[in-house]
């Protein structure tokens, strides 16, 4: 006798667990199946984001930034603390505690919203049935609707054999029990820069090997160039156009061979992190005959409302097209759960913010200046440096700028880009403005409290029309 539900969600990461919770809020009978296991063998909800990605990395970024500030900045504030020492074990214990608190919170939320959480591997069978393989054996569930939210997994390079000790992925790199004297990172994307920043602050010599010739090509290039300058100043050795040919463990080190425009080079590091992106995780997800189709890159094919090619089967998050961002997956999960319940649901894919949690932070939403220029639409831009912000100066955080790209014809805000203190928080104002198709003038006429970091957005909007008050208009 199979258990019958209104909705079964396969995956309890940042796309799956919100879908399950919203379905529960919509008074549907819901089960959420997830197979995540930590290194100690324990099951946990939350997927990569909570267990081995977003949350633990931000915990270490925060701790390492405080360490760096205590070492290099506190004296400027008149705070003298004497000899500074690092207790990495305590720092890692705090990271693990933050993760455990967050993942336990999902258990509580499931219980409060009537969601049945099931630990084990979920496999979609024909007829909207789900085979669950867990510690208690196998069980078949059945549902009117199934939501696939199996997430993604790190891409591994054939020429760089992963061993989990010396050559590692992003999860391994969050759990080092000692600071590597020499750290190599393959990939200068979001994950590579964040992990490189953590260990550089704690004392590693960090070399980042990026195959592309352009730094952060997805970022507005005014912001990317500013970021590259600051990262170099911080000691991150970022080599562009560096294609890794091979890597091999040699004793207690890793020998890396890479090529660039000047030829072949060798490099030896104590640890090598492979951070070249992620791919959709569909291993064992689909049985034959389900009718769910994958595209040429392995993503589940869906329409704009995340419906798959199979009736009443949906897919959300990293396993489908679009940016691999937790908040994008969350909104897709909520949308699908509402649509299943007969409510309105939509995701505005044009205004999904992105954040890189380095120091300074980088955040953006909408189109870059390069994209607008390529479209042929007449545009105008305005920038404001945080060096001219009283609040940023008071925080010893005057690096970076805010930039706005707007249309010349109707003044619509097309893109907002920030590098500076708390950029990930500041970008929310821009997301809200663009959600309502705001004009530059709308932001100009919105009163911002003084002194705040958010004034940088206000001043950048004024600068678009050469009306900035606290900076030169150029």
Between CA 473 and CA 71 the distance in angstroms is: 37
Residue among 55, 59, 39, 50 nearest 11 (CA): 50
E strands, 284-437, are: 313-315, 354-356, 361-366, 379-385, 401-407, 413-420
* DSSP class of 264: E
Between CA 394 and CA 404 the distance in angstroms is: 24
Using a 10 angstrom Cβ sphere, with 0-12 exposed, 13-18 middle and 19 or more buried, the burial of residue 133 is middle
Between CA 104 and CA 45 the distance in angstroms is: 8
Instruction: Please confirm, yes or no, whether 450 is among the known catalytic residues.
Output: yes
Residue 210 has which token pair?
């990026």
Using left for φ > 0, alpha for ψ between -120 and 50, and beta otherwise, residue 284 falls in: left
E strands, 187-322, are: 205-210, 237-240, 243-250, 253-260, 263-269, 271-274, 278-280, 313-315
Instruction: Give the HSE-up count for residue 108: Cα atoms under 13 Å, Cβ half-sphere.
Output: 6
Between CA 360 and CA 319 the distance in angstroms is: 30
Q: How crowded is residue 2: how many other Cβ atoms within 10 Å of its Cβ? A: 12
Between CA 327 and CA 354 the distance in angstroms is: 9
Q: Determine which helix (DSSP H) or strand (DSSP E) holds 216, and give its type and residue range.
A: none
C-alpha pair distances (Å), 174 with each of 36, 97, 361, 442:
17, 14, 19, 42
Between CA 115 and CA 249 the distance in angstroms is: 46
C-alpha pair distances (Å), 423 with each of 280, 386, 401:
28, 11, 10
E strands, 3-136, are: 3-10, 30-34, 115-119, 121-125, 129-134
Q: Say whether 25 sits in a helix, a strand or coil.
A: helix
- Return the residue matching tokens 């070249």: 276
Catalytic pick among 77, 121, 450, 458: 450
Residue positions annotated with a catalytic role: 450
């Amino acid at each position: 006798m199979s258990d019958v539900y209104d909705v079964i969600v396969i995956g309890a990461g940042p796309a799956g667990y919100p879908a399950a919770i919203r379905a529960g809020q919509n008074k549907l009978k819901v089960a959420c199946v997830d197979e995540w296991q930590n290194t100690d063998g324990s099951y946990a909800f939350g997927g990569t984001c909570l267990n081995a990605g977003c949350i633990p990395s931000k915990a270490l970024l925060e701790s390492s930034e405080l360490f760096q500030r205590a070492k290099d900045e506190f004296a400027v504030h008149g705070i003298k603390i004497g000899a500074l020492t690092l207790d990495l074990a305590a720092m890692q214990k705090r990271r693990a505690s933050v993760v455990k608190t967050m993942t336990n919170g999902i258990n509580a939320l499931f219980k409060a919203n009537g969601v049945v959480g099931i630990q084990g591997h979920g496999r979609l069978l024909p007829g909207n049935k789900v085979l669950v393989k867990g510690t208690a054996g196998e069980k078949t569930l059945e549902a009117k609707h199934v939501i696939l939210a199996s997430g993604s997994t790190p891409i591994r390079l054939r020429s760089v054999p992963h061993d989990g000790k010396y050559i590692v992925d992003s999860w391994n790199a969050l759990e080092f029990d000692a600071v590597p004297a020499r750290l190599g990172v393959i990939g200068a994307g979001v994950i590579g820069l964040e992990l490189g920043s953590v260990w550089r602050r704690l004392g590693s010599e960090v070399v980042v090997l990026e195959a592309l010739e352009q730094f952060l090509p997805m970022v507005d290039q005014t912001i990317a160039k500013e970021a590259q300058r600051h990262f170099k100043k911080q000691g991150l050795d970022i080599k562009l156009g560096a294609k890794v040919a091979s890597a091999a463990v040699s004793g207690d080190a890793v020998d890396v061979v890479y090529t660039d425009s000047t030829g072949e080079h060798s490099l030896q590091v104590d640890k090598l992190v492979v951070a070249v992106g992620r791919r959709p995780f569909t291993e064992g997800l689909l049985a034959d005959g389900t009718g769910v189709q994958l595209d040429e890159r392995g993503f589940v094919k869906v329409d704009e409302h995340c419906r798959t090619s199979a009736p009443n089967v949906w897919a959300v998050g990293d396993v489908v097209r679009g940016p691999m961002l937790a908040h994008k997956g969350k909104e897709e999960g909520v949308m699908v759960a509402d649509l299943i319940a007969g409510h309105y649901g939509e995701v505005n894919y044009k205004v999904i913010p992105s954040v890189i949690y380095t120091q300074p932070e980088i955040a953006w939403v909408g189109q870059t200046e390069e994209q607008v220029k390529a479209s042929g639409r007449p545009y105008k831009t305005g920038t404001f440096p945080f060096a001219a912000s009283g609040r940023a100066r008071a925080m010893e955080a005057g690096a970076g700028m805010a930039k706005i790209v707007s249309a010349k014809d109707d003044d619509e805000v097309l893109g907002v880009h920030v590098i500076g203190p708390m950029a990930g928080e500041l970008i929310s104002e821009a997301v809200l403005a663009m959600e309502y198709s705001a004009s530059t003038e709308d932001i100009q006429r919105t009163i911002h409290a003084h002194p705040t970091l958010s004034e940088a957005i206000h001043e950048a909007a004024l600068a678009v029309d050469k009306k900035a008050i606290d900076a030169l208009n150029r």
